[in-house]
Chain A
Amino acid sequence: MRTILLIIQKELLQVFRNKAMLPLLTVIPVVQLILLSFAASNEVKDIALSVVDHDHSSYSRLLLQKMTASGYFKLQQYADHHDQAERSLQTDEVDMVLEIPNGFERDLLRQKTADLQLLVNAINGSKGGLAGAYAAQVIQNFNQEIIADVVPMIGTLPATPRLDIQYSNWYNPTLDYKTFMVPGILGTLVTIIVMILTAMNIVREKEIGTIEQLNVTPIKKYQFILGKLLPFLFIGLFDLAIGLVAGKLIFDIPMVGSLGLVFAFCVVNLIVVLGIGLLISTMADTQQQAMFVAWFFMMIFILMSGLFTPIESMPKWAQYFTYPNPIAHFVEVMRRVLLKGSTFADIQWQFAVMTVLAITFSSLAMLTYRKTT
């Protein structure tokens, strides 16, 4: 026990003595949290719109007015003809072209049907999709109003069944993306910091040669590994704490569920990450190797974590890959507990998976660490 405490003391001493390290562990995560939470928005606003209005009628003007009033679109260009609008689309000046044909109002009144053309720049798939959907929504709305407007003029209208949808956004009533992103980003940051710190740790002792000196001492394997793991566990939990405080103060993120549960899950999550980090560190010979391997795993972990894109919309095979991904589970649990108030019973599955991973990686790290070559 004394030996473990000694190693922990030594590790913490080294971390805090490193002048670059302290701000890296305290200030930088908060800065990243703030920066990323403001920047990593899924919302699509100010879609640059070009309109080619061949009709110049009151209806076409009404439609246009509805488009701009929706808040999603910004009328960038009022094109004279189709070619001009298409050029603007190609040169990226506008994101979407709405073409209103000649006789739009007339057809609508006489034949009760009219065509519109929408050209959407879908080079960014999700932005294009959303732009199209928003436009469709506005046009749908416009359509409903016209019916109400036209019915008195033409007398009767065959009664059409109509579904009116009322939205209620649970757990995030105002659909504030920050509410959703901050817990996820925080979980990712804590995981990454701890993973890098551990991955670089033992390999650093190898590079400086201190491992040689340690190996001829009667230190036991488990003492060494525990002494290495625990300081970084503390650092990870500390980062989670300051991140949550910053999230509350700056973004006012809801904290519906138990914070104790969040920290408890974080401990399990960090044990997994520490295991992976140590495994990398014991296998690598240089810090460079360790860095690249850690980076490789981190890229996969982050991009497949469900932080930005929902896991449910990944192909089935890719979804299986998220099972051993600690970030995916941590992001999920952070969101569920903080926003929805999930209890232990709700996140049992995540706890179970992470416990299995924690045992697997820690024992692998323990087995691969050798005091003899």
Chain B
Amino acid sequence: MKAITIDGISKKYGKTQALDQINLEVEEGALFGLIGPDGAGKTTLFRILTTLLLADTGQASVTGLDVVKDYKEIRKTIGYMPGRFSLYQDLTVEENLNFFATIFGTTIEENYDLVRDIYVQIEPFKNRRAGKLSGGMKQKLALSCALIHKPTVLFLDEPTTGVDVVSRQEFWEMLRKLKEKGITILVSTPYMDEASLCDRIALIQKGQLLSIDSPTNIIQQFSKPLYAVKTNLLHQLLGDLRTFPLTDTVFPFGEYLHLTTKQQLEEDQLTIFLQNKGHQKIQLHPTKATIEDCFMELMTN
């Protein structure tokens, strides 16, 4: 049985098509990433799967339970961590965890094993009010609360947005451990670098799924020649590269620009082209595609 199946789900808000005929399957025990920019429809899909929102058309099920018919059962078996911090800011860390444990008819002690790794990090602050925690600690508390009833499927909506790099790494490390315990995890993120940490990913853009595969497969499917370019006139470079006849796409990537070309490139040809435009200290080398390159590629098609 699949942990999540989505079959032709569409949702409209007024005239905006938030989700357009989404089809997706997530294997049991997988760490599945939903990657896409803000406004792509990630949260809408999460809200449909967590029974908070009704889709216009299509069907979806979580652990074999229909999101419309069996919503009561689903609510008992899933854990959901909304994108916005949604715990009681005026209750302490411990009170929040206790509250959610009790609502699900369990206790902190009963499932302490599951949350221990995460909770020990915030336990020193258990008498502090949730509102007074740092961003990273809030995430850990929210994850603990979403886990305390031992869910079979965990939905994490942009859990690392607005969290520092170190905390993000820690967070993904925690997800990996949870996956080892057999929990299916569906996680959404706007950060492309996090995609490679998932078993499988789906790229989503404007309510449509662009590609569903493992990160390595997606990268391997990237067929165009890709170069990283950098000169002393970085600002001007973007415009100049666009006027280069063989250029397919150019976009900024860290301190470099990533350039795809319509055919294999004689590197000197481009160097001369750029020198003529007044660029110096030209660095140009072929580079391996990342998820971000694939995403940009899929988006422009």
Contacts and interface: CB of A to CB of B under 8 A. Distances in A.
A117 interface: no
A216 B103 contact: no
Interface residues of A, number: 22
Given A17-B90, A218-B72, A218-B76, A212 B82 contact: yes
Nearest to A18: B90
B169 interface: no
Contacts of B91: 10, 13-14, 17
B6 to A, nearest CB: 18
Contacts of B210: none
A215 B51 CA distance: 9
Interface string A171-213: 0000000000000000000000000000000000000111011
Contacts of A208: 86, 88-89
Interface in B44-74: 47, 50-54, 71-72
Nearest to B76: A218
Contacts of B145: 213
Nearest to B75: A218
B85 to A, nearest CB: 7
Main secondary structure on B side of the interface with A: loop
B78 interface: yes
B242 interface: no
A6 interface: yes
Main secondary structure on A side of the interface with B: helix
Contact of B52 (A3, A10, A212): A212
Nearest to B101: A6
A371 B80 CA distance: 15
Among B47, B82, B100, B103: residue with most chain A CB under 10 A: B103
A371 B90 CA distance: 23
Contacts of A10: 88, 91, 95, 99
Interface string A355-373: 0000000000000000111
B35 interface: no
B253 interface: no
B85 A209 contact: yes
A217 interface: yes
Contacts of A210: 86-88
Interface in B76-121: 76, 78, 80, 82, 84-91, 95, 99-100, 102-105
A14 B88 contact: yes
Contacts of B89: 208
A18 B80 CA distance: 28
B104 A209 contact: no
A245 interface: no
A225 to B, nearest CB: 15
A36 B80 CA distance: 50
Contacts of B87: 210, 213
B99 A209 contact: no
B92 to A, nearest CB: 9
A218 B103 contact: yes
Among B54, B84, B99: residue with most chain A CB under 10 A: B99
Interface string B26-53: 0000000000000000000001001111
Interface string B136-171: 000000000100000000000000000000000000
A217 B75 contact: yes
Contacts of A215: 52
Contacts of B90: 14, 17-18
B52 A373 contact: yes
Interface of A: 2-3, 6, 10, 13-14, 17-18, 208-210, 212-219, 371-373
8 contacts: A213-B82, A213-B100, A213-B145, A216-B78, A216-B80, A217-B100, A218-B104, A373-B54
Closest 9 CB pairs of A and B: A209-B86, A213-B86, A216-B80, A209-B84, A217-B103, A218-B76, A6-B102, A212-B82, A218-B75
